[in-house]
Structure 1
């Protein structure tokens, strides 16, 4: 099985990159010999870089795939010490943040390193504070003797294990995590809610599959689309559930649904999220431009006769979806390799 997947991967890669066919056959033979001897094989750096980029291109839930070939791939499979690992994680955060001009990036480690966080940066979730989505990870951190401030926006530590040793946690260096305060120039009362969000979403709970090999620890990031923060994170009832507080800050009548207070608040709040990021110099895309970028991605793929697959419910934005083109299209949700695979039941867009 692994031989078949490896062979398909090498053939596809060498064909797409216009590498001589005889070199492909030679590389396939090398892989076959290695598999016969060890039961597995090792990607070289070119294969790892190509595979990671194509995994993004094949990510059905991601609307930001236009930039798949701009992904910075960090091959960190050699790292085996705690000091090196922690330095490299903070380095990823710093370089990906890039003073606000966010860089798409992936850091690929050996499977001897394990990360327990859903994202490298997440806010803690307590019984009455913070992000409910993080409660399980917060409890694990507390079990390891981490103590948060019990506020709505405590940044969780990195929880990790190296070489099957006991779990450890690492609190990030102060000032490393860039955050954006959410404001609205027409509604100063919004600022009194003291809402904020971190700049870079770095997914750390997915497997990267390339040619039959699975990298269990490969944190990666793109940048935010504003609705992910303004609709899902802050207003979903099972997340921060702040929509009514936001509506009241906008002085809307929340006594009846016929006032459309939810809709009005949602639009203005997403406007606030987008412009707060922009004013802070942090990369973000609105759902209209994200859809236009995805249309460009579709055109590019069609021009080279590659099928565009997608998960419609993730490509249609949660705000005014019928105003963008991908709402009106159907997509085949076929999974292709290479790809990012969800562990257990986690869901979401891999790059947002």
Structure 2
């Protein structure tokens, strides 16, 4: 046996040991939290046999549902985990080609939107296996707005998405009409395939026009701005990991907290950077930071977002309510004997943080599995497969 073969065999054994350790931990967790599942012994024996034969194993539908929900429960950066057990799981593990995956992603958006009453949903596609890696979704979220130009000379749109927009243009997309809110196509890479883009159907995306509750605040109307945002924040570039099995394409969503849109997406200087424009509309003194014009503009922009979603009948949370609910989640989990990890910088809202109860606590950022894990960049993953 050659040295390279010996090294490969050693790596395979290490990977098999890793998967078995994670599988055993998850199966025991599943049976402990699902009393109807009975004793885990028989299931563990079946998983062990499948691992020995194939190098991987297949979750039962019930295990997949519980694993996806617990991954949300374990998401240290999410303030909305009180609802973890309500996650709807769409099992699409049999799909590996880009066309079918794109169709199901758009179906996911329609079902999750639910006419504005947004439902937490995940769609799980084929996993990685020793025989082949699973499919990938390049797009950071299922719905993204184009950014034309680059981060240093952006002309129109969302600066965060300038690299993806550039990649799409290189893949043959002709671009949108050039508004600040052009919907980007979805980029999907099927198994053993090159990345392909798919136009996002208009009927799959509910968008909310953003207007101020006071109408012509500052003397100018907001409606003429054409501000809007989409209703469903569906993360699509994270890997769902359950019991040693990795699902690299598993888009999932909850619903928005208002500050995600009003204090970050529309306000960040490397996104839409709207605070100077809002301040001008409000007639604020922007000549000095001591006038607190940024703070006042930020509050009014967030008022506009919450007002607009409420008026449209679209689910959205405010940061004060969600902060209290997160503490309810902590108490509920502690009563069940489960420790809750959290990352303070993500849990504390980006607006009026010290006015919320989550600010006045410390948290331990402990990793737990199952989990949603960050994947390397799309281009790097594609290059690793020799596909670009």
Match status 1:53 vs 2:69: yes
Instruction: State which structure, 1 or 2, has the greater radius of gyration over its C-alpha atoms.
Output: 2
Equivalent residue, structure 2, for 1:10 = 27
The answer on whether the counterparts of 1:321 and 1:327 sit within 8 Å (CA) in structure 2 is yes
Decide whether the 8 Å contact of 1:105 with 1:220 is kept in 2: yes
> Which deviates more from structure 2 when the two are superposed, residues 247-256 or residues 225-234?
247-256
Q: CA deviation at 1:309?
A: 0.8
Is 2:353 the partner of 1:336? Answer: no
After superposition, the C-alpha distances for 1:51-108 in whole angstroms (9 at most, x for unaligned) are 0000000000000000000000011011244543332111100000001000000000
Q: Does the CA-based 8 Å contact 1:187-1:250 persist in structure 2?
A: no
Deviation at 1:186, TM superposition (A): 1.6
Q: Deviations over 1:308-345 (max 9, x none)?
A: 11000000001000111111111110110001011238
Structure 1 residues 20, 258: CA separation in 2 closer, same or farther (over 3 Å shift)?
Answer: closer
How many residues are treated as equivalent by the alignment? 345
Equivalent residue number for residue 36 of structure 1: 52
| 1:92-129 Cα shifts (integer Å, max 9, x gaps) | 00000001000000000014322110001000111111
Q: What residue is the counterpart of 1:183 in the other structure?
A: 211
Partner residue in 1 for 2:6: none
Match of 2:277 in 1: 245
Contact 2:213/2:303, CA 8 A, preserved across alignment: no
Residue 154 of structure 1 deviates from its aligned partner by 0.6
Q: 2:284 & 2:187 partners in 1: Cα distance?
A: 42
Deviations 1:134-192 (A, max 9, x none): 01111111112112222211110011122222221110223321111110132422223
Find the counterpart in structure 2 of residue 168 from structure 1: 196
Match status 1:117 vs 2:139: yes
Structure 1 unmatched runs, 5+: 347-352
CA contact (8 A) 1:125 1:135 kept: yes
**2:41 counterpart of 1:25:** yes
SS in 2 for 1:42: coil
1:158 matched to 2:186 = yes
Given that residues 190 and 246 in structure 1 are in contact (C-alpha distance below 8 angstroms), is that contact kept between their aligned partners in structure 2?
A: no
Q: Deviations over 1:234-288 (max 9, x none)?
A: 1111111110001111222222222211111111110110110110111000000
- TM-score (norm. length: structure 1): 0.95
Task: Indicate the SS of the match to 1:197.
Answer: strand
* Runs of at least 5 residues in structure 2 that lack an aligned partner in the other structure: 1-17, 128-133, 150-154, 379-388
Q: Counterpart of 1:349?
A: none
Q: Write the distance in 2 (CA, Å) between the matches of 1:20 and 1:170.
A: 41
